[in-house]
Amino acid sequence: MKKYALRLLPLFTLALLGASCGNKAVDDAPPQIEFTFFDPAPRPDSICGGFENVVFHVESGGTLEFEARFTDNVELSQYKIDIHSNFDCHGHKSNTQDWAVLEVGDISGQEYTLRRTLQVPAYVTAGDYHFQIQALDKAGNDDPQAAVFAIKVRNQTDTVPPMLTITEPNPAAGTLSLRKGEEYIFSGTVSDNFSLWEGGNGKLEFFYRSNASGNSFRWGSPLVFTAEDDNYKSFSVTLRVPNTLIAGEYLISVWAYDGVNNAAKPVYFPAQIIN
Protein backbone atom coordinates (compact mmCIF):
# COMPACT_ATOMS: atom_id res chain seq x y z
CA MET A 1 0.00 0.00 0.00
CA LYS A 2 1.52 3.30 -1.07
CA LYS A 3 0.53 6.68 0.33
CA TYR A 4 0.68 9.90 -1.67
CA ALA A 5 0.50 13.29 0.04
CA LEU A 6 1.14 16.35 -2.11
CA ARG A 7 0.45 19.96 -1.20
CA LEU A 8 -2.64 21.62 -2.72
CA LEU A 9 -4.17 25.01 -1.98
CA PRO A 10 -7.70 24.75 -0.54
CA LEU A 11 -10.54 24.74 -3.10
CA PHE A 12 -13.44 24.15 -0.70
CA THR A 13 -15.33 27.02 0.88
CA LEU A 14 -14.59 26.34 4.51
CA ALA A 15 -17.40 26.19 7.03
CA LEU A 16 -17.19 28.59 9.96
CA LEU A 17 -15.68 27.07 13.06
CA GLY A 18 -17.97 27.25 16.05
CA ALA A 19 -16.69 29.20 19.02
CA SER A 20 -15.47 27.04 21.88
CA CYS A 21 -17.68 26.97 24.93
CA GLY A 22 -16.45 26.03 28.37
CA ASN A 23 -14.11 23.07 28.16
CA LYS A 24 -15.38 21.93 24.75
CA ALA A 25 -12.42 21.13 22.50
CA VAL A 26 -12.16 22.81 19.10
CA ASP A 27 -11.52 20.44 16.18
CA ASP A 28 -8.71 21.95 14.12
CA ALA A 29 -7.23 18.68 12.80
CA PRO A 30 -7.78 18.19 9.05
CA PRO A 31 -8.85 14.86 7.55
CA GLN A 32 -6.23 12.62 5.93
CA ILE A 33 -6.23 10.83 2.57
CA GLU A 34 -4.46 7.54 1.86
CA PHE A 35 -4.44 6.01 -1.62
CA THR A 36 -4.53 2.23 -1.68
CA PHE A 37 -5.04 1.54 -5.40
CA PHE A 38 -4.38 3.13 -8.80
CA ASP A 39 -4.94 1.73 -12.30
CA PRO A 40 -2.99 2.60 -14.37
CA ALA A 41 -0.12 3.02 -11.92
CA PRO A 42 1.66 6.38 -12.06
CA ARG A 43 5.23 6.82 -13.22
CA PRO A 44 7.69 9.73 -13.38
CA ASP A 45 7.55 12.08 -16.37
CA SER A 46 8.12 15.68 -17.44
CA ILE A 47 5.24 18.13 -17.01
CA CYS A 48 5.26 21.73 -18.26
CA GLY A 49 9.03 21.78 -18.49
CA GLY A 50 9.56 20.27 -15.03
CA PHE A 51 9.81 16.75 -13.62
CA GLU A 52 7.21 15.05 -11.43
CA ASN A 53 7.39 11.63 -9.78
CA VAL A 54 3.65 10.88 -9.97
CA VAL A 55 2.16 11.17 -13.47
CA PHE A 56 -0.74 9.09 -14.80
CA HIS A 57 -0.85 8.17 -18.50
CA VAL A 58 -4.26 7.52 -20.08
CA GLU A 59 -5.73 7.45 -23.58
CA SER A 60 -9.01 8.39 -25.19
CA GLY A 61 -11.76 5.93 -24.26
CA GLY A 62 -9.69 4.55 -21.36
CA THR A 63 -10.19 4.84 -17.61
CA LEU A 64 -8.43 6.02 -14.49
CA GLU A 65 -9.38 3.98 -11.42
CA PHE A 66 -8.44 4.70 -7.83
CA GLU A 67 -9.30 3.84 -4.24
CA ALA A 68 -8.85 6.40 -1.46
CA ARG A 69 -9.32 6.05 2.29
CA PHE A 70 -10.42 9.21 4.14
CA THR A 71 -9.98 9.42 7.91
CA ASP A 72 -10.71 12.12 10.49
CA ASN A 73 -10.32 12.38 14.25
CA VAL A 74 -13.97 13.43 14.73
CA GLU A 75 -16.30 13.40 11.70
CA LEU A 76 -15.91 13.48 7.92
CA SER A 77 -18.15 15.72 5.84
CA GLN A 78 -17.36 15.77 2.10
CA TYR A 79 -14.95 14.63 -0.59
CA LYS A 80 -14.14 16.29 -3.89
CA ILE A 81 -12.72 14.92 -7.16
CA ASP A 82 -11.56 17.44 -9.74
CA ILE A 83 -9.98 16.81 -13.14
CA HIS A 84 -9.32 19.79 -15.39
CA SER A 85 -7.01 20.73 -18.25
CA ASN A 86 -3.58 22.17 -17.61
CA PHE A 87 -3.18 23.88 -20.99
CA ASP A 88 -4.09 27.36 -22.22
CA CYS A 89 -7.52 28.11 -23.70
CA HIS A 90 -6.98 28.56 -27.40
CA GLY A 91 -9.81 30.93 -28.20
CA HIS A 92 -11.48 28.97 -31.01
CA LYS A 93 -13.93 26.11 -31.28
CA SER A 94 -12.58 22.63 -30.59
CA ASN A 95 -14.27 19.42 -31.76
CA THR A 96 -12.36 17.34 -29.23
CA GLN A 97 -13.64 17.11 -25.68
CA ASP A 98 -11.61 18.45 -22.78
CA TRP A 99 -11.67 15.91 -19.95
CA ALA A 100 -13.40 17.47 -16.96
CA VAL A 101 -14.59 15.82 -13.75
CA LEU A 102 -16.09 17.68 -10.80
CA GLU A 103 -17.68 15.44 -8.19
CA VAL A 104 -18.53 16.43 -4.61
CA GLY A 105 -20.09 13.85 -2.30
CA ASP A 106 -21.27 13.76 1.30
CA ILE A 107 -19.56 11.31 3.65
CA SER A 108 -19.72 10.71 7.39
CA GLY A 109 -18.03 8.90 10.24
CA GLN A 110 -14.34 8.84 11.05
CA GLU A 111 -13.37 6.63 8.11
CA TYR A 112 -14.62 6.30 4.55
CA THR A 113 -13.24 4.41 1.52
CA LEU A 114 -13.97 5.78 -1.94
CA ARG A 115 -13.40 3.81 -5.14
CA ARG A 116 -14.04 5.36 -8.52
CA THR A 117 -13.47 4.56 -12.19
CA LEU A 118 -13.15 7.79 -14.19
CA GLN A 119 -13.90 7.56 -17.92
CA VAL A 120 -11.71 9.38 -20.43
CA PRO A 121 -13.77 10.89 -23.30
CA ALA A 122 -13.63 8.88 -26.52
CA TYR A 123 -12.37 11.86 -28.55
CA VAL A 124 -10.45 13.64 -25.83
CA THR A 125 -8.30 16.74 -26.16
CA ALA A 126 -4.73 15.52 -25.71
CA GLY A 127 -2.39 17.24 -23.28
CA ASP A 128 -1.56 17.73 -19.62
CA TYR A 129 -4.27 17.68 -16.95
CA HIS A 130 -4.50 18.10 -13.17
CA PHE A 131 -6.14 15.47 -10.93
CA GLN A 132 -7.08 16.66 -7.44
CA ILE A 133 -8.79 14.94 -4.52
CA GLN A 134 -9.73 16.67 -1.27
CA ALA A 135 -11.59 15.91 1.95
CA LEU A 136 -13.49 18.18 4.35
CA ASP A 137 -14.55 17.42 7.91
CA LYS A 138 -17.58 18.62 9.88
CA ALA A 139 -15.57 21.45 11.47
CA GLY A 140 -14.64 22.84 8.06
CA ASN A 141 -11.03 21.65 8.02
CA ASP A 142 -9.53 20.49 4.76
CA ASP A 143 -6.27 18.62 4.33
CA PRO A 144 -3.33 20.99 3.63
CA GLN A 145 -1.51 17.95 2.20
CA ALA A 146 -4.35 17.03 -0.15
CA ALA A 147 -3.34 15.10 -3.25
CA VAL A 148 -2.65 16.84 -6.55
CA PHE A 149 -1.44 14.74 -9.45
CA ALA A 150 -0.59 15.23 -13.12
CA ILE A 151 -2.17 13.32 -15.99
CA LYS A 152 -0.86 12.99 -19.54
CA VAL A 153 -3.72 12.28 -21.94
CA ARG A 154 -3.31 10.94 -25.47
CA ASN A 155 -5.93 10.80 -28.21
CA GLN A 156 -5.55 7.44 -29.95
CA THR A 157 -6.66 8.99 -33.25
CA ASP A 158 -3.31 10.78 -33.43
CA THR A 159 -0.58 10.16 -30.86
CA VAL A 160 2.32 11.77 -32.78
CA PRO A 161 3.11 15.45 -32.13
CA PRO A 162 3.74 17.80 -35.05
CA MET A 163 7.19 19.11 -36.01
CA LEU A 164 7.93 22.84 -35.80
CA THR A 165 10.78 24.37 -37.81
CA ILE A 166 11.75 28.06 -37.66
CA THR A 167 13.74 29.40 -40.61
CA GLU A 168 13.64 33.12 -39.77
CA PRO A 169 15.16 34.29 -37.53
CA ASN A 170 17.78 31.58 -37.25
CA PRO A 171 17.42 29.91 -33.81
CA ALA A 172 21.18 29.26 -33.79
CA ALA A 173 22.11 32.89 -34.41
CA GLY A 174 22.24 33.80 -30.73
CA THR A 175 20.40 36.52 -28.82
CA LEU A 176 17.88 38.57 -30.80
CA SER A 177 18.09 42.33 -30.47
CA LEU A 178 14.53 43.71 -30.62
CA ARG A 179 13.47 47.35 -30.43
CA LYS A 180 10.23 48.40 -28.77
CA GLY A 181 7.52 49.41 -31.26
CA GLU A 182 9.17 47.72 -34.24
CA GLU A 183 7.90 44.73 -36.25
CA TYR A 184 9.72 41.44 -36.78
CA ILE A 185 8.98 38.46 -39.02
CA PHE A 186 8.99 34.83 -37.85
CA SER A 187 8.84 32.26 -40.65
CA GLY A 188 8.87 28.48 -40.76
CA THR A 189 6.82 25.33 -41.20
CA VAL A 190 4.67 22.99 -39.14
CA SER A 191 4.17 19.40 -40.34
CA ASP A 192 2.28 16.45 -38.90
CA ASN A 193 1.69 12.78 -39.68
CA PHE A 194 -2.08 13.10 -39.43
CA SER A 195 -3.79 16.49 -39.42
CA LEU A 196 -3.07 19.96 -38.19
CA TRP A 197 -6.71 20.97 -38.14
CA GLU A 198 -9.07 18.01 -37.61
CA GLY A 199 -10.18 18.17 -34.00
CA GLY A 200 -10.13 21.96 -33.90
CA ASN A 201 -7.06 22.50 -31.71
CA GLY A 202 -4.38 23.15 -34.33
CA LYS A 203 -2.59 26.46 -33.84
CA LEU A 204 0.72 28.32 -33.70
CA GLU A 205 1.46 30.60 -30.74
CA PHE A 206 4.20 33.01 -29.69
CA PHE A 207 5.09 33.98 -26.12
CA TYR A 208 7.61 36.28 -24.45
CA ARG A 209 8.84 35.95 -20.88
CA SER A 210 10.74 38.53 -18.88
CA ASN A 211 13.86 37.09 -17.30
CA ALA A 212 13.65 39.71 -14.54
CA SER A 213 10.07 39.05 -13.40
CA GLY A 214 9.44 35.55 -14.78
CA ASN A 215 6.09 36.74 -16.18
CA SER A 216 5.05 35.24 -19.50
CA PHE A 217 2.60 36.67 -22.04
CA ARG A 218 1.17 35.60 -25.39
CA TRP A 219 2.68 37.65 -28.21
CA GLY A 220 0.07 38.46 -30.82
CA SER A 221 -2.92 36.30 -31.71
CA PRO A 222 -2.69 32.53 -32.31
CA LEU A 223 -2.44 31.42 -35.94
CA VAL A 224 -5.26 28.89 -36.24
CA PHE A 225 -4.82 26.02 -38.70
CA THR A 226 -7.66 25.26 -41.13
CA ALA A 227 -8.69 22.37 -43.39
CA GLU A 228 -6.67 23.96 -46.21
CA ASP A 229 -3.49 23.36 -44.20
CA ASP A 230 -4.06 19.58 -43.91
CA ASN A 231 -0.83 18.16 -42.42
CA TYR A 232 1.55 20.93 -43.53
CA LYS A 233 1.61 24.67 -42.89
CA SER A 234 4.13 27.21 -44.12
CA PHE A 235 3.87 30.46 -42.19
CA SER A 236 5.28 33.97 -42.01
CA VAL A 237 4.02 35.94 -39.01
CA THR A 238 4.74 39.61 -38.35
CA LEU A 239 4.83 40.62 -34.68
CA ARG A 240 5.23 44.07 -33.15
CA VAL A 241 7.23 44.49 -29.92
CA PRO A 242 4.92 46.24 -27.40
CA ASN A 243 5.99 49.77 -26.46
CA THR A 244 5.01 49.00 -22.87
CA LEU A 245 7.75 46.41 -22.35
CA ILE A 246 10.57 47.19 -19.96
CA ALA A 247 13.95 47.00 -21.64
CA GLY A 248 15.96 43.95 -20.64
CA GLU A 249 16.44 40.25 -21.24
CA TYR A 250 13.54 38.08 -22.44
CA LEU A 251 12.90 34.56 -23.71
CA ILE A 252 10.72 34.19 -26.79
CA SER A 253 9.09 30.82 -27.45
CA VAL A 254 7.13 29.44 -30.40
CA TRP A 255 4.61 26.63 -29.86
CA ALA A 256 2.64 24.51 -32.36
CA TYR A 257 -0.27 22.11 -31.76
CA ASP A 258 -2.03 19.67 -34.07
CA GLY A 259 -5.76 19.00 -34.33
CA VAL A 260 -6.05 16.88 -31.17
CA ASN A 261 -3.71 19.19 -29.19
CA ASN A 262 -0.44 17.24 -29.42
CA ALA A 263 2.34 19.80 -28.85
CA ALA A 264 5.45 20.12 -31.02
CA LYS A 265 8.81 20.66 -29.38
CA PRO A 266 8.89 24.43 -28.85
CA VAL A 267 11.55 26.71 -30.32
CA TYR A 268 13.21 29.25 -28.00
CA PHE A 269 14.96 32.55 -28.73
CA PRO A 270 16.87 34.52 -26.10
CA ALA A 271 16.19 38.19 -26.75
CA GLN A 272 17.30 41.63 -25.61
CA ILE A 273 14.56 44.29 -25.71
CA ILE A 274 15.98 47.77 -26.24
CA ASN A 275 14.34 51.22 -26.29
Whether residues 110 and 187 fall in one domain? no
The rounded percent of the chain whose pLDDT value lies above 70 is 88
* Structure confidence at residue 87 (pLDDT): 77
Q: Are 133 and 79 in contact (CB under 8 A)?
A: yes
Whether residues 36 and 133 fall in one domain? yes
For the chain, how big is the Rg over CA atoms in Å?
A: 23
44: pLDDT confidence band, cut at 50, 70 and 90? very high
Dump strand ranges (E) for 156-231.
Answer: 163-168, 176-179, 183-191, 203-210, 216-218, 223-224
Whether residues 179 and 135 fall in one domain? no
pTM for the model stands at 0.77
Q: Which domain holds residue 168?
A: 163-274
In a domain, 12, yes or no: no
- Give the residue from 154, 186, 204 where a domain finishes: 154
Mean pLDDT along residues 219-228: 94
In a domain, 133, yes or no: yes
* Structure confidence at residue 47 (pLDDT): 80
Mean pLDDT along residues 62-86: 95
- Give the residue from 136, 154, 172 where a domain finishes: 154
Q: Are 252 and 87 in contact (CB under 8 A)?
A: no
Whether residues 112 and 76 fall in one domain? yes
* Structure confidence at residue 147 (pLDDT): 73
Cα distances from 130 to residues 32, 110, 157, 173, in angstroms, run: 20, 28, 22, 37
| CATH number for position 190 | 2.60.40.770
* Structure confidence at residue 22 (pLDDT): 53
In a domain, 267, yes or no: yes
Instruction: Name the domain count of the chain.
Output: 2
* Structure confidence at residue 12 (pLDDT): 42
Helix (H, G, I), strand (E, B) or coil at 267: strand
* Structure confidence at residue 25 (pLDDT): 81
Mean pLDDT along residues 3-15: 38
Cα distances from 216 to residues 206, 219, 262, 275, in angstroms, run: 10, 9, 21, 20
Dihedrals phi, psi of 181, to nearest 5 degrees: 90, -10
